[in-house]
A and B are shown apart, each in its own frame.
Chain A
Amino acid sequence: MSKDSYKAIMDQKADIMRSSVGIDYEKYTTGPLSFDYEAMLNDTGYDLDTIRDIQGRTAVGDTPLVELRNLTELVRAVSEPGKGARLLVKDEAANPSGSFKDRRASLSAFEAKKNGYAGIAAATSGNYGAAVASQAAKAGLGCIIVQEAFDSKGIAQPEIAEKTRACEAYGAEVVRLSVGPELFYYFLIVLKETGYFNASLYTPYSILGIETLGYELAVQVKAREGRFPDVVVATHAGGGNVTGTARGLIKAGATDTLMVAASVDLSGLHMASDRDFNRKSFTTGHTGFSVPFSTWPDRADVPRNAARSLRYMDRFVTVTQGEVFYMTEALAAIEGMERGPAGNTSLAAAFAIAREMDREHIIVVQETEYTGAGKHPLGQLNLAKQMGIDVRRGDPRENQPGKAIVIPEHPSQIKPVEMDLDRIRRSYLRNALNSLAEGEKITETDMAYLVAETKSDETYVREAIESHERKKR
């Protein structure tokens, strides 16, 4: 084990990142705050057709779009007359490693291979690890996955334990760590030691890889229905899923489709807490990632995050753990599709949103994920009970992350909670202004950038900045 001190390694972060990602982020800077986002993505040289071709070579993508007829009927059973949109799901579990994350990993593996790296590494405890491992296996690359996997008592999160097994099945080395943000420190040591390519979730490759999902979905709905979907719901964590899907929809011409981000509510649980670690029944798609990453995407492991969800979301909702487990049961029981709970976060949100929409409207859930031991409501709820969490039937409003998981008694009780996008945007702008160096002023280029970053307009940004300045004084 390396004896390099925490600080010594963290001080080398910029150098290690540059050689492991191969992108000179500096050159995209256009102002004190702004950078040229589109140029950063374009300079990779991968357009949509090329990406579809690369993904097709490893059987990634082109997943089935499934109409959920029975669930739609269930929606209508609990909707006002004339309401209840048609629910469709993109069955991303059909990808080689069982989730849409194969799309994200595919370009990184291709890029690593092309540039002669001996292997690829990723710091991830979720499906992305299995995707990177699967892609590495196909490309004949070495692979190391660094996970946050167990608490100080040695208790492993069941979903992460399943990911450990899957990654090892694909021939990857899995380094399992106890709870803490220093996972990133260990990851830097691994990159430095091996010279592997950093398959970060937040590079342009990772985001461009997801554009095909939004694109396919739009084309599939159009071919079947003669029009684009009215609403697409994406599970939201670090922002890549929302960003890539929305960009793909736009590239297909589905510019009027509303993009809804959905996260599991884990408010009150600390992401770096050893105690809270096994009191979460979801390891991703939750507010512990989606709120901080929406309000400041550049907290990622790369200098400029290519996942910038606030640019693309039209609505942001949260659902409870109990609601997602309920929908996971429903999907299996009446659609005959047993899929993993994390991927069903957007399904729980879409079920409730469909109730507000007209019958002739179409709402698409853009992913499913595979399921199995550990990655399953049974594994999660058995652990939750062992940790002293109160699991009961009732009104999901009584759900308390880390204390109570309330499973709805009736589908009409599933109701997502709106996240106030105005607050999220203001929080983003506050973080942006706070990142300015002392005495630095924002330029006209910055202004245009902030408008794009918050999907708002200049009046909104100016007002928010003034209000922030007033409060500071």
Chain B
Amino acid sequence: MTERALKNTWVEIGGVVLQKDQRAPNLPDDTKQVALEMRVKGFLVHDAEKGGEADIITLSGRTVRGTLTEINPAYTHMFGRPIPELSPIAGEIRAILRERRNAS
């Protein structure tokens, strides 16, 4: 079932800014193979469906049209698991200082 969002919902839209063949000259080979894409968030001007065309008003007040990619998009960046290669460092450094202080 398609997800539908009501007018004034906070969403993200996206689209292609430059197709592969419209891109700047002198790009590395891997970048040349893909389009330049854009994502921007704002409030829906009209009800819209995910994957369909949508107009939004951005936080600066611009009206931008694109494909509705996310409804109330999440911030997904995080810390994640502790890194085993970093975890012992604090203890190691404190031990160096302890030894030095004990020696003096």
> Is B93 in contact with A1, judged by CB distance below 8 angstroms?
no
Say which residue of B36, B58, B78 sits within 8 Å of A182 (CB atoms).
B36
- Does B96 belong to the interface (CB within 8 Å)? yes
Q: Which residues of B sit under 8 angstroms from A325, Cβ to Cβ?
A: 86
CB-CB contacts below 8 Å: A60-85 with B: 70, 73-74, 76-78
**A96 beta carbon closer than 8 Å to chain B:** no
Instruction: Give chain B residues whose Cβ lies under 8 Å from the Cβ of A301.
Output: none
Instruction: Give B22's nearest chain A residue, CB to CB.
Output: A6
Docked-complex contact A379 and B60, CB < 8 angstroms: no
CB atoms of B58 and A407 under 8 A apart: no
A169 to chain B, nearest CB (A): 10
- A334, B31: Cα distance in complex, Å: 43
Candidates A74, A143, A182; contact of B96 at CB < 8 Å: A74
Contact A382 B80 (CB under 8 A): yes
Q: Does A374 contact B (CB under 8 A)?
A: yes
Give CA–CA (A378, B79) in the complex, Å: 5
Instruction: Please pick, from A77, A178, A392, A407, the residue contacting B34 in the complex, using a CB distance under 8 A.
Output: A178
List residues 20-43 of chain B with CB under 8 A from any CB of chain A.
22-24, 27-28, 30-31, 33-42
A172 touches B59 (CB 8 A): yes
Beta-carbon contacts under 8 Å, A161-213 to B? 161-162, 164-165, 168, 171-182, 185-186, 193-194
Q: What interface size band does chain B fall in?
A: 35 or more
Residue in B38, B58, B77, B94 whose beta carbon sits within 8 Å of that of A373 in the complex: B77
B34 near A274: Cβ-Cβ < 8 Å: yes
Binary per-residue interface labels of chain B (13-25) against chain A in the complex, 1 for a CB within 8 Å, 0 otherwise: 0010110001110
Interface residues in A133-173 by Cβ distance below 8 A to B read: 142-144, 149-150, 152, 156, 158, 161-162, 164-165, 168, 171-173
Q: Is the CB of B80 within 8 A of A177?
A: no
**Residue A377 interfacial (CB < 8 Å):** yes
- Knowing A334-B94, A334-B97 are in contact, say whether A194-B31 is a contact too (CB < 8 A): no
Contact among B34, B65, B86 for A329, CB-based, below 8 A: B86
Contacts of A379 in B (CB 8 A): 77-80
Tell me which residues across on chain B come within 8 A of A150, comparing CB atoms.
37, 39
A residues less than 8 Å from B66 (CB atoms): 1
Which residues of the partner chain A approach B61 to less than 8 Å between Cβ atoms? 142
Chain B residues, CB < 8 A from A334: 90, 93-94, 97
Bound: A331/B42 CA distance, A: 39
Tell me if A391 is interfacial: C-beta within 8 Å of chain B: yes
Given A119-B60, A377-B86, A378-B83, the answer on whether A272 and B77 have CB atoms closer than 8 Å is: no
Give CA–CA (A325, B28) in the complex, Å.
Answer: 29
Binding site for B on A (CB under 8 A): 1, 5-6, 70, 73-74, 76-78, 119, 142-144, 149-150, 152, 156, 158, 161-162, 164-165, 168, 171-182, 185-186, 193-194, 270, 272-275, 325-326, 329-330, 332-334, 373-374, 376-379, 381-382, 391-393, 407, 410-411
